[in-house]
Amino acid sequence: MYPGNLFIITAASGAGKTSLVSALLKLDDRVKLSVSYTTRQPRIGELQGVHYHFVEDAIFLKMLENGDFLESAYVHGSRYGTSQKEVDKTLKDGFDVILEIDWQGAEQVRKLYPSSVSIFILPPSMSSLNERLNSRGQDSAEVISKRLSVAKEEMSHVSEFDYVTINDDFETALQDLMAIVRCQRLKCEKQLNQHKDLINTLI
């Protein structure tokens, strides 16, 4: 089976990245989400092994020392990392893999996987981002203020990405993501390998 595509999806906190990825996963069973490791506490409704692998700081640092992570970053006071073994296995099985990571992690992954496809999701405005963060009801005013400050720095890296979509209208942004995934699957190299028997009979 021909290996799948590796997609990196990055956004400032509150831009709607998680909701868009969840919707994409429901519509396309050939796409799998890489479940990251983190040292932060679970939010309401988050499940162990589904949304994140929640681990203690000592365990995370041991994994980091062992070289288990494809990428890792320290964001908003917590550590995040992606298991290289899990990603490689899923790609080898022929599935496309989505990494929901920040710009620092994206930079690390692009060096190791030059063929990866990076996508940045932007909010329609800073006021919209502020509104979305407050509507969650999960963070204090102090935490939200810090996230908005960090968001400016995160979004300054948008030009480093292959694709950009603005999440003003959810359905439009979702269609954008689906179009990017389909586009990568239709590249000549992918099609020649995936359908080589058919193509050989045609030419």
Lowest mean pLDDT among 103-117, 120-134, 137-151, 175-189: 137-151
What band does 137 get if pLDDT is binned at 50, 70 and 90? Answer: low
* Residue 81 pLDDT exceeds 90: yes
**Residues 6+ away with beta carbon under 8 Å from 117:** 5, 6, 7, 8, 162, 163, 180, 184
Output the pLDDT for position 71. 92
Categorize the per-residue pLDDT at 8 as very low, low, confident or very high, splitting at 50, 70 and 90: very high
Alpha helices in the chain (DSSP H): 17-27, 57-65, 84-92, 103-112, 126-136, 141-155, 170-185, 188-194, 196-202
CA-CA distance, 71 to 153, in Å (whole number)?
19
C-beta separation of 7 from 116 below 8 A: yes
Residue 77 has pLDDT above 80, yes or no: yes
Whether 139 has a pLDDT exceeding 80, the answer reads no
Token readout for 98 is 């989505």
Residue 84 has pLDDT above 70, yes or no: yes
SS3 13: coil
Matching CATH number, 6-34+94-202, of 1.20.140.10, 3.40.50.300, 3.40.50.720, 3.40.190.10: 3.40.50.300
Spell out the residues 6+ positions from residue 78 whose beta carbon is closer than 8 angstroms to its own.
38, 39, 40
Instruction: Determine the average pLDDT of the residues in 59-84.
Output: 93
Give pLDDT, residue 1: 60
Q: What is the mean pLDDT of residues 87-92?
A: 96
Domain boundaries, the chain: 6-34+94-202
